[in-house]
Structure 1
Amino acid sequence: MSSSRTKIFDLPRDLRSWRHPPGAAENAEPAVVPIWDDLKDLFNSKGYVLWTYQPSAHQFVAPESHLTSSGFMGASHLRDLKPVSDGVRTVLEFQSLNPLTHPARTANGQDVVIRVLAVGSNGLEHLHLLNRIATGMPTLVTGNHTLPLLDTIELQDVTFGVFPKAGGSADLLYGSWIEPSEGDILHVLVQCLEALRFLHGMDIAHRDVFKDNFLLQWYPESMLIGHIPTSRPRVYLTDFELAVSFPRHLPREKHLCVGMPLGGSMPDFNGRPMPAEVLSGKPYDPYKLDVWQLATAFCDWEASTTDGPRSSLDAVRAVLARMRDPNPKARPSAHRATEAVLAALAEVPPKRLQVPAVVLDDSSDRIRDVQTSSEGSSDARTAEVASSTGSDGSAATKGTAKRA
């Protein structure tokens, strides 16, 4: 860990102010916020050259300096290696939705993303959790898909985390310019499940398990290359602001949360789909919330694979349906869901999965339908999140909300 206290900077006072700096419009470009410009010299002294923001493209572009592969990102060899190529654009350009993050290049030419993790005590739980699973020996465990924390930098009361820049968000995996097969999507789904299985085994729940929080080493495009791929991209899980962890000695049945996952950089409701138990104001199992969220995130894909050669995927669709059952007790654990999907995949010849992925035209409507079904006739209200241990010994925990 490195620190610098040689100059006093006028920095946002908390994580929420970093996400929405005072005086900045809600939809302001990250570049109009001068915070990171003021910090260029600081990060340069630590060996990180900040990327430049390009207003005309509404994104950051990599510097012209020496580039070395970090192993965390790449592009298909069939994508023309030119700046205008879709494949390279996902690697050498970066879109930031708020000033919490900024891309940079290290002295040895590897690209990273710097993120504000904590301001004083605000965000310390997030930082402690990352130190537990994103550094040291746990990063060597193959089932751990957490994006590694490479370095931390302290400035006044602000802690910045440095992460490797990955290839791109799973949000673009299908329904975009990428050309995946059913098999490509299924292998990404299995890794997402494995990521949850590892976390839950460590008594950690993520509570924001949507596609934009999964990063891919590169985008798989079996339909572009025209055959079953020789290798698969690794999937990384990021953004643990909402995550909660429980003491190892606490009985599993007391691993409970109450209310919406709120706090940190955005303490208001974030608009994410939530199952009925979260909206009820009663204690709920956060591990079953993770399972529901992941299945909901993929519901726009699996619901459309209903005929032809894709009928072999009925078993997988059945697993996803159980994962978002309105009754959390009826949902499988991440471990059982992983095993079930793997067992279903083992029964399908790889060639049968070499077919184009089909998605719903209006996935947002499909996700809302899933949430409405989950809510049923319950009193769907936003409950205040408790931050202390309940009188019955259950842990009622608090997290940080995702952007709207």
Structure 2
Amino acid sequence: MQVPPHSFLDLYRACSAPDAHPRTIVWEQFASFFASNGLHIWNAIPGRLLAWAPPDSRPRAPDGFSYRSPTDVDRSYDFCQQTIVLCPARTIDGRDVVIRIVRIGDEGKHHEEALRRLATGNVASVIGNHTAPVLQWLSLNAITFAVFPYLSSSDPTCLYLYEDTRDLLGHLDQMLEALEFCHARLIAHRDVFQQNFLCNFYGGIGFDRSAVPPPVGELVRPFRSLFPFRIYLIDFEWAICFDPESDPATRVVRGLPLPPDKKSLGAEYTRPIAPEMTSGLPYDPFLTDVWQLGTYFQSVAEENIIPAAALRLFKRMAAVSPLARPTAREALVELREIKSSLTLDEMRTPVWIRDNA
């Protein structure tokens, strides 16, 4: 790609070759622009498609967005790219960040608006806001870039068994709180699945690999309780934003949230589909968000012992009828009431279901 992309479709087509590394095909043309703004993009790793390495040998500077295992103090991890619109970079003072192409022309305007409402300025620091903050906005021609802190490059939380009921419900509480904060500002995420939640743990497995099942009779090794564990909600590419002055009856959408650029490439929607999404009728995207998170909570319940009251809540969140579902706020209030009703011994109860097969 010798010229800046005019659409997201240009980006995807440029990287359609099997050996096309986004660093070379897409991001090299922006390197000098980013450098002029104090950002040095990472280097492509020869022979490893979609893998990036830091641009220098300096250790990552502390930034408050990452914790690491005591066994990983001096280790540096590669960035494994999940989508071509992301690019890792390092600031002049050694902080690691991720640059994202948010908007090209009119494409991505809801994405940008969502991030400006949720992740820009003082609102990004509001208690209860789990949206990954935008540290810097950059524009070049018709392209808008957002600069985020480098969080976990993928969600590592599934690598760690839950210590007990308190650990598990605390994790789900953060995810639900993240969604409620968005909805309170009239932003429906529309892709509330596990892959769009990251955390502030850097690098590999660490902490003696607590995902490894402990011997019979021993407790799960701790992970989230060892540091100020925090969940972050990312990827508002499919988000829809409504005006605060809008009529609540008009806050609806239709169909699946697959962008036209991906449809033209033959992409298919591969997420679990709420019943209303294929009805052909207008539907409330906020209640669909609740369904998406509820289906994930139910999947967690398949592998862990969950209090009965929480199971009932998760079932209602994933109800077939949108009208039978609680709002994100109602679900969050109910989950916290459930937590407060449990005794200390109940909160300390192990939740992992050992596979005896």
Find the partner of 2:136 among 151, 167, 173. Answer: 151
Pairing partner for 1:54 from 30, 45, 59: 45
Inter-partner Cα distance in structure 1 for 2:9 and 2:344: 47
Structure 1 residues 141, 247: closer, same or farther in 2, change over 3 A? same
Query: What letter corresponds to residue 160 of structure 1 in structure 2?
Result: F
- Residue 209 (str. 1) matches residue 204 (str. 2): no
CA RMSD of aligned residues (A): 2.8
Determine which of 335, 341, 357 is the counterpart of 2:335: 341
1:173 to 157, 168, 177: 157
Which residue does 1:389 correspond to in 2? none
User: Which segment drifts farther, 56-65 or 330-339?
Assistant: 56-65
User: Using a 3 Å threshold, how does the CA distance of structure 1 residues 29 and 142 change in structure 2: closer, same or farther?
Assistant: farther
Distance 1:124 1:227 in 2: 38
Match of 1:137 in 2: 122
Amino acid of the structure 1 residue aligned with 2:334? A
Cα distance, 1:125 vs. partner?
A: 2.6
1:10 aligns with 2:3: yes
Deviation at 1:96, TM superposition (A): 0.7
Evaluate the alpha carbon distance shift between residue 105 and residue 23 of structure 1 in structure 2; reply closer, same or farther with a 3 A threshold: closer
Q: Classify 1:105/1:356 alpha carbon distance in 2 versus 1 (closer, same or farther; 3 Å).
A: farther
Does the 8 A contact of 1:168 with 1:217 survive in 2? no
Q: Distance in 2 between matches of 1:236 and 1:23?
A: 28
Residue 41 of structure 1 corresponds to which residue in structure 2?
32
1:387: which partner in 2?
none
- Mapping of residues 274-353 of structure 1, within 5 Å: 274-305=273-304, 310=305, 313-349=307-343, 352-353=347-348
Partner Cα separation in structure 1 for residue 351 and residue 47 of structure 2: 34
Q: Which amino acid aligns with 1:151?
A: Q
1:41-82: CA deviations, max 9, x gaps?
2212211111122245552222313521111122233x4435
> Match for residue 213 of structure 2?
none
Give the equivalent residue in structure 1 for 2:350: 355
User: Residue 11 of structure 1 aligns to which amino acid in structure 2?
Assistant: P
The C-alpha deviation readout for 1:67-110, integer Å capped at 9, x for no partner, is: 21111122233x44353xxxxx6xx3321133210111111111
How many Å apart are 1:22 and its aligned residue?
Answer: 3.2
2:245 is aligned with 1:249: yes
Conserved in 2, the CA contact under 8 Å of 1:66 and 1:108?
Answer: no
Report if aligned partners of 1:123, 1:264 keep a CA contact under 8 Å in 2. Answer: no
2:59 and 2:74 in contact (8 A); partners too? no
Once residues 104 and 32 of structure 1 are traced to their aligned partners in structure 2, the CA distance between those partners, rounded to angstroms, is 11
Q: Which runs of 5+ in 1 are unaligned?
A: 1-7, 84-88, 361-404
Relative distance call for 1:239 and 1:265 in structure 2 (3 A) is farther
Equivalent-residue separation in structure 1 for 2:269 and 2:173 (angstroms): 27
Q: CA deviation at 1:303?
A: 2.0
1:239 aligns with 2:235: yes
For residues 242 and 159 of structure 1, the distance between their equivalents in structure 2, rounded to whole angstroms, comes to: 16
Q: TM-score, normalised by structure 2?
A: 0.84
Distance change (3 Å), C-alpha of 1:252 and 1:314: same
Given the two structures, how large is their TM-score scaled by the length of structure 1? 0.75
- Percent identical pairs in the alignment equals 31
Unaligned runs of 5+ in 2: 211-218
Aligned residue pairs: how many? 335
Contact kept, 8 Å, 2:67 with 2:227, in 1: the verdict is: no
Q: Residue 335 of structure 1 aligns to which amino acid in structure 2?
A: R
Cα pair 1:242 1:262 within 8 Å, conserved: yes
Distance 1:98 1:17, change over 3 A: farther
8 Å CA contact 2:138–2:146 kept in 1: the answer is: yes
- Note the C-alpha offset of 1:156: 2.2
What is the CA–CA distance in structure 2 between the aligned matches of 1:75 and 1:179, rounded to whole Å? 18
Tell whether the 8 Å contact from 2:23 to 2:43 is kept in structure 1 after alignment: no
User: Given the alignment of the two structures, is residue 263 of structure 1 paired with residue 267 of structure 2, yes or no?
Assistant: no
Deviations 1:242-294 (A, max 9, x none): 11111212232331111111226534542111111111110111111000111
Q: Distance in 2 between matches of 1:266 and 1:359?
A: 41
What's the CA shift for 1:218?
2.0
Measured against aligned partners, the alpha-carbon deviations of 1:104-155 in whole angstroms (never above 9, x if no partner) come to 1111111100011111121123212212221122112111111111112222
2-side partners of 1:160 and 1:265: how far apart? 19
1: CA distance between counterparts of 2:291 and 2:80? 28
CA distance in 2: counterparts of 1:105 and 1:142, whole angstroms: 28
